Amino acid sequence: MEGNHEPSLTDAEVRRIREDFPLLTGTPTVYLDSGATSQKPLAVLDAEREFYLHRNAAVHRGAHTLAVEATDAYEEARRVVAGFVGGAETELVWTSNATEAINLLAYSFSNATAGRGGEAGRRFRLGPGDEIVTTELEHHANLIPWQELAARTGAVLRWIPVDGTGALDLGAAAEVVGERTRVVAFSHVSNVTGAITDVAALVGLARAAGALTVLDACQSVPHLSVDLPALGVDFAVFSGHKMLGPTGIGALWGRTELLDAMPPFLTGGSMITKVTMETAHYLPAPTRFEAGTQRVAQAVALAEAVRYLQAIGMERIAAHEHALGQRLATGLGELEGIRLIGPPPGTARVGLAAVDVDGVHAHDVGQVLDVAGVAVRVGHHCAQPLHRALGLTASTRASGYLYTTTEDVDRFLAELAGVRSYFRVAG
């Protein structure tokens, strides 16, 4: 948020934005679960339907007019989405979601370790004595694939711990990342605390060790103005459904020279140049990682979601979410028996906050809020190690977006304030 001088969205503007979202109109429900999945504006729904109505065909496979139009739409979507994060078309690989994108990297590194990719793939090989570093606050999608890669290659998995607030211990990071580190994988924004990671600090440590960096940008690309090349990371992943797009589409961004050197993960049609009964030769990235029939309509719809976000302005959206996050953190800090997880009020965060309600299980908190018409996320949010480090099994998370008003936040705070008395644990 440093250096951001763009004005925040006003509540009047947010109410106008909400009119574009069919699910949010005509309902009294306060939707505060955008960290899990966002709602979709009509323009995105229409874009996917329009593709099927007028341009549906297999891409990169036919010379007829429909096939050409479908391919053009597919590749234009790649250009739009890549540009949104500061990249080029050659740097963006379509995947089903961010989880698949991280697995793509892990399995590609595993294939390189097995000797695939030749001399170019050598830089991705791992073995006994090598180390993969992640963090204690990661979503399971940015932890388990690296656990499995370590098991397959004999490498050691290490992690950067969190402090008592759930923030990364950057002092400890300097001790964890060292000369044996080959990969450093970390989140740009925590899906539990809403805290924004000091990317430059971790990239600096990784570069000093000669390690590759993998950024989980699922909670940053939808909410902040993100330029991946400028951040200095080698790879990044994000999901369409968290940024107004449809489900079933995500992306892996990577530096072209690295993607071209990586051996493929999925193999089959559409990603080859020549096939004999004994061997196959693969296309350059990104096509070499896109075997089979592609997610064409979803990619087109995601590009429309990007255009929608760009029309409003990511700097304004980020300013609005910063204000929401501060309103959440400040309000929660004033409630008795409520423990705010993550950075205190005044610290930069996205419009997300998770809490532990003293004496009440998160699932019970969520049920009371749901009956009151407030939709939040409860559980461990696919981040069990972080919760365990904080002495928790679950938490209640409220997460807003560009269509969230200050009234939504205030209603959540008001309903949450009565939960402990409802269960007769206040005192």
Q: Which amino acid is present at 21? A: F
Contacts of 215 (CB under 8 A, 6+ apart): 185, 186, 187, 188, 199, 228, 231, 233, 235, 236, 237
Edge-to-edge strand ranges of the sheet holding 235-239: 92-95, 250-254, 235-239, 212-216, 181-187, 131-135, 156-160
Q: What angle (nearest 5°) sits at the alpha carbon of residue 315, between those of residues 407 and 12? A: 30
Quote the pLDDT of residue 62: 80
CA distance 286 to 125: 20
DSSP string, 134-181: EETT--GGGTHHHHHHHHHH--EEEEE-B-TTS-B-HHHHHHHS-TTE
C-alpha–C-alpha distance, residues 206 and 209, integer Å:
5
Interatomic CA distance for residues 372 and 358, integer angstroms: 20
48 by DSSP, 3-state: which? helix
Structure-token match 């493929």, residue found: 264
Place of tokens 């979507």: 77
As beta bridge partners, residue 251 has 94, 238
- The pLDDT value given to residue 427: 63
Give the gyration radius of the chain's Cα atoms.
22
Which residues are the active-site residues?
382
For residue 77 the two structure tokens come to 């979507």
CA 26/CA 33 separation, integer angstroms: 18
How far apart CA 366 and CA 378 sit, in angstroms, is 6
* Amino acid 407: pLDDT: 96
| 112 half-sphere exposure, CB direction, 13 A CA radius | 23
CA atoms of 231 and 221, how far apart (whole Å)? 12
pLDDT in tens, the chain (427 residues): 344 467 899 999 999 999 999 999 988 899 999 999 999 999 999 999 999 999 999 998 888 999 999 999 999 999 999 999 999 999 999 999 999 999 999 999 999 999 999 999 999 999 999 999 999 999 999 999 999 999 999 999 999 999 999 999 999 999 999 999 999 999 999 999 999 999 999 999 999 999 999 999 999 999 999 999 999 999 999 999 999 999 999 999 999 999 999 999 999 998 999 999 999 999 999 999 999 999 999 999 999 999 999 999 999 999 999 999 999 999 999 999 999 999 899 999 999 999 999 999 999 999 999 999 999 999 999 999 999 999 999 999 999 999 999 999 999 999 999 999 999 987 6
User: What pLDDT shows up at residue 5?
Assistant: 60
User: What pLDDT, on a 0 to 100 scale, did the predictor assign at position 1?
Assistant: 39
Give all domains of the chain, ordered by start, each with its CATH number.
11-41+313-422 (3.90.1150.10), 46-310 (3.40.640.10)
- Spatial neighbors of 157 by CB under 8 A, at least 6 apart, are 131, 132, 133, 134, 146, 147, 150
Tell me the C-alpha distance between 341 and 392, whole Å.
10
